[in-house]
Amino acid sequence: MSESGLKKIGVIGIGTMGNGIAQVAAQSGFETVVMDVDAGVLEKGLDSISRSLDRLVKAFEKSGGEKGIDPAAKDEAVNRLSTTTLSEDLLDCDLIIEAVPERPELKEKINRKLAELGYDNLLVSNTSGISITRLGAAYGRPEKFMGMHFMNPVPMQKGVEIIRGLATSDETYATVVALCHDLGKIEIAAEDKAGFAINRMFVPFCNEAVRIIEEGIASVEDVDKCTYCLGHKMGPLMTSDYVGLDTMLFICEVLEEELGSFYKPSPLLKRLVESGQLGAKTGSGFYTWEKYKASGVNPDVARYRIG
Ligand SMILES: NC(=O)c1ccc[n+]([C@@H]2O[C@H](COP(=O)([O-])OP(=O)(O)OC[C@H]3O[C@@H](n4cnc5c(N)ncnc54)[C@H](O)[C@@H]3O)[C@@H](O)[C@H]2O)c1
């Protein structure tokens, strides 16, 4: 029996975050159903989950069973996973985790549709910065709604920021804390204010790193090297490319709107998003990327200077 008492988890969106969330849910013993827009996207997402589980099996074999998972655990996780393109197939879930792109109207539409179809259980959003209270209102059952902000890559990162909306009930909050434990995660509580806790610190840090590039103070590679001296495993520019520059820009805008002009997004971040260079997922951002591996500094970024 799980600590949360939940049995069936739904995940909406099988992208960067959704596939990691679905993998961890299935690995942790939950019947898991993932919904996305079409069969091709679902197939790609499942493939990514399978490769990630294979890496864990390899780690198990290499470490003599100390790390990773055994091959039987991989098969069990795969057997607990199913996919669908229909919201109707999520209605018997005990809890649904929404992980679609960071667009408030899209997330609101999904929440409204679930309510219209008669879904009445817990719903959480993996949003990086949209008001939880706003998204809970769209669901129409704000007491059963809250934020569950997983970190990328989900199978590796232990922390999950958990955010109550204004009307989230104590019962919902306690169940989500228990779910974090069921998933082998550590909960980090934050209030529903722009950027919550993690992105309130992290996004301005990355935005400042971009300003350092724009002003010619240091190169892309050296900016990232600076942070190794701080004990970080990955620099702010490379991390931004991994997260997605569209998501980074959106969070900057949310911070600016709620907290003021200090948080204004840097022009270079905006220009990259305008040009469709969104980081690892599109093949270029601050770096150029091949199959999610950085292959060099983006020459457009290397020459860009202002101020
Ligand atoms: N990428 C990160 O590092 C990161 C970290 C923490 C939180 N987040 C948040 O997680 C959420 C998802 O981000 P992502 O990076 O995984 O995005 P992504 O673009 O990689 O994946 C989004 C997925 O949602 C699917 N989708 C779009 N519309 C849909 C719909 N109507 N119904 C079902 N599926 C739909 C897309 O097909 C895609 O597979 C965002 O809110 C983001 O802010 C992202």
Cβ-based neighbours of 91, under 8 Å, separated by 6 or more? 117, 118, 119
Cis peptide bond upstream of 101, omega within 30: no
For residue 134, pLDDT over 80 is answered with: yes
Residues 100, 153: one domain? yes
**What mean pLDDT is predicted for residues 260-271?**
97
Q: Domain holding 259: CATH number?
A: 1.10.1040.10
Residue 142 pLDDT level (bands cut at 50, 70, 90): very high
For 204, the token pair is: 């301005």
Q: How far is the CA of 36 from the centre of ligand 1 (A)?
A: 10
Given this model, what pLDDT does residue 278 score? 97
Given this model, what pLDDT does residue 292 score? 87
**What mean pLDDT is predicted for residues 7-27?**
97
**Full residue range of the structural domain in which residue 228 is found:** 198-300
Q: What is the mean pLDDT of the chain?
A: 96
Residues 165, 218: one domain? no
Residues 92, 214: one domain? no
Domain end, chosen from 162, 190, 218, is at: 190
Given this model, what pLDDT does residue 218 score? 96
149 among known catalytic residues: yes
Given this model, what pLDDT does residue 42 score? 98
Given this model, what pLDDT does residue 307 score? 74
> In degrees rounded to 5, what are phi and psi of residue 105?
-65, -40
Residue pair 253/265 in contact by the 8 Å Cβ criterion: yes
Length of the chain: 307
- Return the percentage of the chain with pLDDT > 90, whole number: 97
Q: Which residues are near ligand 1 (CB < 6 Å)?
A: 12-18, 35-37, 41, 99-102, 110, 126-128, 149-150, 152, 243-244, 247
**What mean pLDDT is predicted for residues 80-103?**
97
DSSP state of 244: -
For residue 68, pLDDT over 90 is answered with: yes
Residues 122, 166: one domain? yes
Residues 131, 221: one domain? no
Q: Which of 126, 199, 207, 284 is catalytic?
A: 199
Distances (CA, A) of 92 to 9, 109, 121: 9, 20, 9
Domains contained in the chain, number: 2
Q: How far is the CA of 13 from the centre of ligand 1 (A)?
A: 6
Q: Which atom of ligand 1 is nearest to the CA of 281?
A: 20
Q: Which tens digits make up the pLDDT trace of 209-256?
A: 999 999 999 999 999 999 999 999 999 999 999 999 999 999 999 999
Q: Which atom of ligand 1 is nearest to the CA of 19?
A: 16
Residues 139, 255: one domain? no
Tell whether 36 is covered by a domain: yes
Q: Which of 28, 102, 131, 149 is catalytic?
A: 149
Residues 16, 98: one domain? yes
Tell whether 231 is covered by a domain: yes
161 among known catalytic residues: yes
Q: How far is the CA of 12 from the centre of ligand 1 (A)?
A: 8
Atom 21 of ligand 1, nearest CA residue: 15
Residues 61, 105: one domain? yes
Residues 233, 263: one domain? yes
Residues 104, 181: one domain? yes
Tell whether 306 is covered by a domain: no
232 among known catalytic residues: no
For residue 1, pLDDT over 90 is answered with: no
Residues 177, 253: one domain? no
Given this model, what pLDDT does residue 205 score? 97
Q: How far is the CA of 19 from the centre of ligand 1 (A)?
A: 10
Q: How far is the CA of 111 from the centre of ligand 1 (A)?
A: 15
Q: Which atom of ligand 1 is nearest to the CA of 13?
A: 24
Domain end, chosen from 190, 208, 225, is at: 190
- 92 by DSSP, 3-state: which? coil
181 among known catalytic residues: no
Q: Domain holding 73: CATH number?
A: 3.40.50.720
Q: Which tens digits make up the pLDDT trace of 167-211?
A: 999 999 999 999 999 999 999 999 999 999 999 999 999 999 999
Residues 80, 35: one domain? yes
